[in-house]
Structure 1
Amino acid sequence: MIPTPSGRLFGTDSGPDLVVTREFRAPIDDVWASLTEPDRTARWYGRWTGRAAPGQRVRVQLAFEEGEPWSEMRIDACEPPRRLALSALDESGAWRLELLLTQRGARTELRFVQHLDTVEGIGEIGPGWEYYLDRLVAAHQDTAMPSFDDYYPAMKTYFDQLSPSR
């Protein structure tokens, strides 16, 4: 199955936000655990070590990137089980991320937000987040993991053509 891009760009007073959503047939606490517990994040993104608390830094191994590099992330906010805000700085620039959960009945929606300074590089960034969030869904459902080759470069044009809306 070829994945369909779902990311959208929203204009804000501080710059564009890339937003990608996923829905889970699971309670909010279970989805929160998939986003925050190291043994569960290892299945779809990478393991992490360190003291997980607002203002603290954790080291995250990007297990599904070439060379499995480590990255340092700062926990800017942690409001279980609804909001996790993280930031990182690497050779690609600043990464400001928010993961927002909302439960509606037996379903939980994840709204992933990357706060951007510019849309430069969105054609590479967007497909990556679609891939990782589909990995999260697959890990949560215990189904086959997607292949990045189905996301990039296939989704590049979609993301390059996005314009921020309000």
Structure 2
Amino acid sequence: MNRPPTGELFRTGTGSDLVLTRTFRAPIEDVWASVTEPDRTARWYGPWEGDAAPGRTIKVQLAFEDQTPWVDMHIDACDPPQRLALSATDEFGAWRIELLLSHADGVTRLRFVHHLENEEQLGEIGPGWEYYLDMLVAARDGSPKPDFDTYYPAMKPYFLALTTRT
């Protein structure tokens, strides 16, 4: 395994929030560019196309998934360089995610939040987001890309255990 799992689960009034955090010794604007510019998102998640603005829908290619599908993602909110909120619906359900950035003392903190309607797929979702965020780290620092097989199913028990905590 590349790293131990970092995800935390917080119960909310409408479901649960899966929260993962990464830190970067970089200006907030540079990290923001890594999560919003299509040529940079292509390095760790996939490229996107369209007219990006709050209330609009863009097409995002899931470049590291089987068959590299394109999905529609709605931009729910965009407050550069601190907050990006996206949502999508596919055969697995609704996806609502937020990327929250903050900066202090030369370090930018990325707090990734997946708002879950239920926790049924957490054993699959958690390792997937750990993988993608580590792909982001590798894309930024030039380290080797992680191997998904070291995340799933190895991290699944950790994330399933989160569902039993109160």
The reply to whether TM is greater than 0.5 is yes
> TM-score if structure 2 supplies the norm length?
0.97
Are the aligned partners of 1:17 and 1:114 in contact in 2 as well (CA < 8 Å)? yes
Is 2:18 the partner of 1:40? no
Assess if the C-alpha contact under 8 Å between 2:2 and 2:146 holds in 1.
no
What's the CA shift for 1:143?
1.3
Aligned to 2:10: 10
Deviation at 1:157, TM superposition (A): 0.4
Q: C-alpha root-mean-square deviation of aligned residues, in Å?
A: 1.2
The 1-side partners of 2:39 and 2:137 are apart by 15
Per the alignment, do residues 165 and 26 of structure 1 end up closer, same or farther by CA in structure 2, a change over 3 Å counting?
farther
Q: Does 1:123 pair with 2:123?
A: yes
Task: Give 1:3 deviation, angstroms.
Answer: 1.8
Tell me what 2:104 maps to.
104
Deviation at 1:160, TM superposition (A): 0.5
Output the amino acid matched with 1:99: L
Instruction: State the SS of the aligned residue for 2:119.
Output: coil
Q: For residue 55 of structure 1, what is the amino acid of its counterpart?
A: G
Aligned residues: 166
Identify the residue that residue 84 of structure 1 maps to in structure 2.
84
**CA distance in 2 between partners of 1:26 and 1:163 (Å):** 34
Unaligned segments of structure 2, at least 5 residues: none
Q: Distance in 2 between matches of 1:101 and 1:163?
A: 26
1:158 counterpart residue number: 158
Percentage identity across paired residues of the two chains? 64
Task: Please state whether the residue corresponding to 1:98 is helix, strand or coil.
Answer: strand
Scaled by the length of structure 1, the TM-score of the pair is 0.97
Match of 1:139 in 2: 139
Q: Could you say what secondary structure the match of 1:23 adopts?
A: strand
Amino acid at match of 1:59: K
Contact 2:20/2:113 (<8 A) preserved? yes
Q: Give 1:62-77 correspondences, 5 Å limit.
A: 62-77=62-77
1:63-110 deviations in whole A, cap 9, x for unaligned?
Answer: 000100111000000000000000000000000000000101110000
Query: Is the 2:73–2:87 contact (alpha carbons within 8 Å) kept by the matching residues of 1?
Result: yes
2:149 is paired with a residue whose SS is helix
Counterpart of 2:24, as a letter, is F
Output the amino acid matched with 2:21: T
**Structure 1 unmatched runs, 5+:** none
d(CA) in 2 for partners of 1:104 and 1:64? Answer: 32
8 Å Cα contact 1:88/1:95 also seen in 2? yes
Per-residue CA deviations over 1:26-68 (Å, capped at 9, x if unaligned) read 0100000000000000000000000010000000000000100
Kept in 2, the 8 Å contact 1:47–1:60? The answer is yes
